[in-house]
Every structure is written in C-alpha cells, then in structure tokens.
A and B are shown apart, each in its own frame.
Chain A
Amino acid sequence: MSSAQATRDDIARLFGRAAFGATPADLDAWTGKPYADAVSFLVDIPAPSGRRAQPDDTRRSALVQTGANHTDDGTIRLAQKWWLERMRTGSYPLEERMTLLWHGHFATAVRYPYPDVAMMLVQNQTFRTHALGNFRELVKAVTVDPAMMEWLDGARNSIPTPNENYAREFMELFTLGKFPEVYGERDVREAARVLTGWTSNPSFRTVSFNGAGHDTGTKTVLGTTFGDAGAHEYEQLVDVALSQPVSARFIAAKLVSNFAYAAMGTDLLRSADSLVVAVADTLRQTNWDLRAAMRTLLMSDEFRNGDASAQRLLIRQPAEVMVASAKVFGISLDNDDAVLQLRNMGQNLFVPPNVGGFASGVAWLSPSTVVARYGWAATIGGKNPSGLPASADTDGWAKRVGLGTLTLETTAALHEYVAKNAKLPEANRQTGMLTLLLTSPDWMAL
C-alpha cells in the first residue's frame, strides 16, 4: 500500500496527469499532506449548476456569437486561444483535462459549412458540463449535439437511405470499442434506422425530432428490439449500448490509458488489468458516475506506483505540455504564436485529424514534434521568466517546472551541459537548462 502522505513525486504525477501540471506552489502545498486530500481537491468540485461564473465565461459566450457560420482559421484560432487560456487558468483543472479527453473521444472537427466554430464551442461546453458527471448523460447529449449531428451526418440520416456514419462510430469509438463479437454490420445498420428522424437547423445550432422522418419499423440492435419510441428511441439505444458488459471496460480502459498508463504490449481491454477492472466496476456500480471512476483511478496503487515491472509512464500530449509549461512560468497562451506552435506539435484543437481523435502515446513522438516541442521550450526561455534556479541546481529546476525527482540519467546530462558551457553567462545557461528540461524525457513522459 502506498503511504497516506503524499510525496513530491506523488503530487508531480497527480497534477501532471490530471491538472495540466503542478506548479511549485502546488508541490509545496500538498507534499506531506494526505494524498487523498489532494485527489479530493481535484475531483470534488462543485457541480456546474452550483457555481459562480468563471471570469472568462463572458468571452466564451461572445465567441459563440462570433463563431456562428464561421469555419475560417482566424475564428478557429480565437476559440483555441480561449480554450488554452481556460486550461491554463481555470479553477477546475481536472474538469478541463476531462473536457480535453472527451473532445478526443467524441472527436468532432470544424468543417465547412458545419460544424462551425459556434457549434464546437457549444459542444465543448457540453463536454465540460458532463466532464466529471454521468457518462450515460454525456453520450445522450452528444448523440443529439448539433456539431455531432453535422459532423457524423445524423442530420442527413433518413428513411429510404439511412446514413450509418454516427451509428458506426457510436459503437466502435464512443461506447463499445472494437469488438466484432459484440456487434456487427447488421447492428450498425439497424442503429442508423433507430436514429432516423433527427434533423438539424445548423444556422440556429438546434436539432429537432421529426416523427414523420423516423423509421417506425421494427429494429434490432445488440439483441434488443426497438419499436416506435419516437424521440426517445435514441436514449434507449444509448442505454442498450451501455448495458453491454464490454462498455464499462472500454470506457475504463480509455480513462486508464489517458491518466495512468498505456497498454505496453497488452490489450487493456481484453486483459484483466486490475486498474481497468476496478474503474469499470466503479462505473457500473455508480451508474456511470465519472467522478467516482476518476477517484478510484487516481487513488489506486497502480496510478501512484505503476506495477511491479515498471513505473508505467505516459507520453504527455502537446496541449498538456504547452499548458503545463505556460502555467509554471506564467506565460499567456492568448496569442497566435502559441496556437501555431501547438499545431506544429501536431495538435489542432477543435480540428482533430478524424473521428478517431488525436494521436496518443508514442504516436506523438517524431522528429517533427520534438523540434516543435523544443521550439516552444525555447520560446518560454526567450521570455526571460523570473525565479530561475542556479543552472547547476538540477533538483531546483525540477521543482521549478513541477516535476518530481529527475532520473539520474537526465540529471547527469544536464550537469554535463552546465559543465561544458561554463564560460557562458549564467543567464544563458539558465535559459539552456529551461529549454532542455522542457524537452527532456522526464518532461515528455510523465
């Protein structure tokens, strides 16, 4: 069992994965305190309905107006800057991290003429509202979300020629995973029929159910027969999908691979990974409560310690790296340069490459993304941030950027850099330390 008291390494990992990085103040505040309290700080946040408005909510509302009928890059950048700043400064970092997760899970992209930027911001708020809420409610909301209706053609799914686009991804990507033994082509086609009748009025960002367009015939999906439940039939479809035993496992594996560890050589879905099993159990026992699932995950020994064979690290995605570094050095992300550099790292928020979402894990590692991540580190170094430790104080540096104990190898390589550049002015060496640390294996794989 892990100690009840949090170590600096615990806090660095917890905040690094679940809160866009720890600040030195976070490390100071929570090291030595009960670990459960730190988890509770992230997880037990007020429900969205019972909160004061965030200072940037007004700006988001204004962007929904600006973004209506706009899919141009300038407007997309406005939305991206808002979201990056929300990630950097928001009061509820785990909620924002989960919002990013759902954006990748239910991956929807701006596309001419729709979804426009306004729809994407509305969808983004839906992800946020349910981020730590109930997954069942989230899936139901997404199924009739205006942006999703446009993106996966729910708005063009009609009786004589049903469009299977949403039905297929609903099963494969959103609720069940790749399980040919659980569902087949026939289920996909029948589910498309269940979803007929929903139409979209994109310029008003509304959807509506038109009974005359709904296929009232008998449909069979996943062994369940659907009659004519009209506007509620899609909710039944969600319930049927989430009642499949693999569903909780699938979502649990998604959470584990985003927060705890990726499957190194094993299939998290099909192996009896103890953490996936525990998180799936929580989801089932709580009727899909994401807050409970995240508490189970973050409190687990597997999360804190990995397993016997390895620490089991995760490659941080570009948005996390960018936000974490901006947070610890107090650098604003409200500028085009940040957005464009994030794209060079391979992540274009609101424009994932396809419905499969962003890359993950080692797919983020390439010469191009390394050069881009280094470029961002150099950008921060060029802003002459304050409070930099002496160049040779490697542990001071680790703490300054919110990391736990550095590996011996990285420590040695950094010392070597300092020694080899003894003739440089100290300020240059400090910039060098900052740039190197923010591109180091310790920073990229946390």
Chain B
Amino acid sequence: MPITRREFLIGAGAVAGASIVGVAGPAFGAAAVDPASANRNRLVIIFLEGGNDGLNYVVPRGDVPGAPRLSVYRKVRPALAYAPSTLLPLDRGNDAAQMLGFNPKLTHLHSLYRAGRVAVVQGVDYPNHNYSHFASSDIWHAGNPTNTSTGWIGRHLDRVGVGEGELRAVAVSSKLPLMLQGRGVSGASIASIATMRFRDGTSATSNAKHAALAALGAARANDPLRQRVGATLRQAVDVVADLAKTDAPPARSSAIGESLETARTLLEQNLGVESVFVGYGGFDTHTTEVATQEQLLADLDTALDAFWAGLNPSLAARTLVMIVSEFGRRIGQASGGFGIAGTDHGAAAPVVFVGPPQSSLVGGLHGDHPNMGTTAAPADNLAMTTDVRHVYQAVLQSWLHNPDPLYNDAESGPLHGLFDEANTAAGGRARNGAAARLDGDGSASATSTSSAVLGERASRRRSALGFGGSGTSNGGGRSVPLSSATAALAFNAFVAAVVVRSGRFREALASWRDDDAAL
C-alpha cells in the first residue's frame, strides 16, 4: 500500500519533535487538484530576455500625418531598416492607417493577426525608465517601478491562493523567476519534463529514499535558509510524483520550441496550472542585430504555431499568450555597417498578445505609437505611451479574473479596450466590486466581500490542518494579525506547509525575494 505523503510527513514530524507544528500538502503522488481549476483561464508569458528591438518587431512602413516614422526610421537606421515592401502589414480596419508591419519572419503571427487573434499594445514602459537589463527586467517582472521584491504573478498567487496540490504558476526554467515570487506564495520552476525523474528510478528502495527526502524537507532546522531548502525538497518530490505519468514532449528544433512544448504539456496535465513563464534569451543585439533577431523571431513564430496547433482545443479556447521584454532598443543604430550594426538599450516597446480564436481579447493595435521625432530632429528613444501596470492590470482583471487590481496607484486602472469588457464581465469580473487591493509590497488590505471569502477559505484550510485559533506573529517589529488575507498567504502550498512559528520566520519569508539575487 503506498504511503501517503501526509502519513510520512506526520511520521517525520513526530521524529523531529517540537519544530513541526503543522504540515500541509497534497496526497503524495496523487494530487487532488480542485476541479474548478480546469475552468480557469490560462496565461503563458514569454519574456524576450536581453531587450527585444521593438522597432524591428513592429516596424514603420510609412509616414502618417504628423509622424514621419518611416522617414526617421530610414534615416537613423541605414544598416538596420527593413524595406516597407518586405514587412507583413498590420492592416485590419483602423490599424491600416498606422502604416506598421510585423517583422518579415513573423508569418504565423501575422496570419493570427489577420484572424483577429493578435493584440499589439504600443509603447509600453514604466515611468523613469532604467536602461539596465537587470533593473528594468526586475521592474517588468515586478510590475512595479519602485518595489521589486515580488512579482506581479506572485502577488496574484498571494491574492487568489494556491489550492492543495496545485502548481498554479510554473516557470519553464531551472530557476524561479521574480515574476512568480509572491510574498507568501511562490510558483515553481521546472526546466523540462524529461529531467523531472529521480535518477535512481522508482524501485521500492529508491522510493523509500524519495520519501525520506521529503521527510528531510519536512524536518525543519532552525534556520530560514535551510527551511527554504526543505520546502523545495518537498516540492520536488511532489512535482516528480505529479509528472510521473507524463510523457516528455517530442523534441523541437529550437530553445523556444522546447520551452513552449513543455509549457503546453504542463498546461494539459491536471496540475492546476494557470500561468506559465517562459524565458527566451538572446535579444541583447548590440551588434549583428538583423541576423540575430530574425533567427530568434523565426524560431518564436514557428514555436507559437506549434504551440497552438498542439494545444488541446478546449484548453486552447481559454489560453492567452503574452510576449514582453525588459525594454526596446534605441531608435538609432550603434556600431557598424550593414550586417554588423546593432542597437543599444532603449525604452518603450510593443507588448504582443495572442488569444484563442474566440475570446475577449480585442485584436489589433492598442495605445499610441511613441513619437519618433522628425528627420531633422530624430528622437533618441521611444517614450512610454502605455504604462505596463495598466497592461498587467487588464490581464489580471479581465483574463485571470483576479478580484482585486494589484496596484496601489489608484489612478492607474486597467488598459481599457484590450479585452472586450462586456464579454469578460460574464466571466467573473462582476465580482470585482469596489475592489480591495494588494499593495505593491504585497501586504493585504482586502476589505470587501472577496476578503471575506478568502478569510473563510483560509480558516477552512487552517482547521483542516489542525491549526489552532488565529494567532498573531511579530515580523520585524510589525504586528501582523494572522487572519483573513494574511492567513491565506501563510497557509498556501509552498510556504504554508511550513511552520509559522516565530517572528523571525515571517521576517525570513519576506526577505527571501530581494536578498542575494541582486549580488
């Protein structure tokens, strides 16, 4: 008879003694994912790492009244400019007047655009742009220009919770990206399906070791970092069990092809996967930009086509792909002539969405194209016309049906028109009401009906786990009532399994995100 995870953890707890107050987690090897999770919308975020050149991605193919974009483009990029005739025109309805086109390598994306499934948000950035890869990337991951301690999807997890056994957010990576790190809950990361097998197989002897590995993870030493290691050990054992019967997807010819196949496979399992993060590197084209970017975009285009073609149709109907990058590049070219030229770090750039055949995503161009100046006085950089926070907020609200907008900037609100609001309201946005919200640092200020629901869910979970009444724990001198939203944070899968025993532990939780990754 297979031992359940809970049984052996309780066993381990008894051995380890007083340090174990309570543990939670799905039944070992048989994740019982909330059936409701099957009906959630899904989001795949592709991050073009290094700074994708937005101007050779969505490219000017003509001047428009008051904006001589093509003339400026040709003048400042003599060795990089595409001829208008080679571009794939964005010519649906009102878009045509903007005289823009996709990079010639994006043929599949262009077909999807013509089918109304692609939305292009122009000029996306954040205030006070930072030209550093790392700083800017953190801001895009965080969705917050001033506090990059948590990611915008991580805070979504904090707010909506992660059910037992769910892998609600997962990165196709060997490391956990900031975007999926919340204050109390974080996503997981899985480099590939094929590598999520224990090397010593599944014999009884090996399985006993794997059970012991999870027990080691449950046996929490009095050190926050070792507790974190332990939590990851348990998570690893869980994920291996979850994926034991999942075949690795067929090999693909490109890195992004492999990653999107892995993403598709994870979405199709009964793991409760809602968001998948896919990093795709190589876009830092200071030199040899045209050849480099064309190869990267061609691979992306092929991979996207394969992703949609392979995705289970009922799942495809509720999946949205979002493609972002930490910045665009400078308008003018740097270093060298034809074939060699590239561009330095820039600012605003387009964000591209690809939705299902019929969905609330509104295809076509959104927002305004940034000003490129004139041929006499070309702009140096593309300035923001749409704040990325509005874009994220629209996704959270209208696609992921997060009941609370995430941002503490009450003025911001979602980008209007990206989703068909009438359509999405039916899908749950009506629940939103006068939204309570999570502040940028993730601290809860929920007060509405939704928080009552959350509190109820948390207390249900708490009692199911045998926890005592709602306690209070001191974190860094700040008194944090362990109730409602805060409780929900603490009781979720990754961390919730862990003991909320002392103020120091809570402090450690809060500090995990922004500590050493910066150095």
Contact = CB atoms under 8 A, between A and B. Distances in A.
A359 B504 CA distance: 25
B77 to A, nearest CB: 11
Contacts of A156: 286-287, 335-336, 340
Interface in A167-195: 168, 172-173, 178, 180, 185, 188
A366 B198 contact: no
Nearest to A309: B504
Nearest to A375: B199
B301 interface: no
Interface in B226-283: 226-230, 232-233, 235-236, 238-240, 281
A369 interface: yes
Interface string B498-519: 0000001001101110111111
B191 interface: yes
Contact of A262 (B197, B213, B515): B515
Interface string B209-229: 100110111111111111111
Contacts of A258: 519
Contact of B176 (A365, A378, A415): A365
B515 A369 contact: no
A7 interface: no
Contacts of A417: 208-209, 212, 215
A309 B477 CA distance: 14
Interface stretch (B9-17, B36-44, B314-322, B430-438): B9-17
A444 to B, nearest CB: 5
Contacts of B425: none
Interface residues of A, number: 84
A407 interface: yes
Given A409-B19, A441-B217, A362 B512 contact: yes
Give the residue among A157, A162, A168, A440 with the most B Cβ atoms within 10 A.
A440
B189 interface: yes
Interface in B195-209: 195-200, 205, 208-209
Interface stretch (A81-89, A217-225, A231-239, A350-358): A350-358
B239 A263 contact: no
A328 B198 CA distance: 23
Contact of B235 (A157, A367, A416, A420): A367
Interface stretch (A14-22, A282-290, A428-436): A428-436
B225 A161 contact: no
Lowest 9 CB-CB distances: which A-B pairs, in order?
A: A265-B511, A262-B516, A361-B516, A375-B199, A370-B236, A346-B174, A409-B219, A441-B226, A407-B221
Given A362-B228, A416-B212, 14 more contacts: A188-B131, A257-B516, A265-B507, A354-B281, A359-B175, A359-B517, A371-B199, A378-B198, A381-B200, A408-B16, A414-B212, A432-B205, A439-B233, A441-B229
Interface of B: 11-12, 15-17, 19, 49-50, 130-135, 173-176, 188-192, 195-200, 205, 208-209, 212-213, 215-230, 232-233, 235-236, 238-240, 281, 284, 286-287, 332-336, 340-342, 344-345, 476, 504, 507-508, 510-512, 514-519
Interface of A: 152-153, 156-158, 161-165, 168, 172-173, 178, 180, 185, 188, 253-254, 257-258, 262-268, 309-311, 313-315, 344-346, 353-356, 359-372, 374-375, 378-379, 381-382, 407-410, 412-417, 420-421, 424, 428, 432, 435-436, 439-442, 444-445
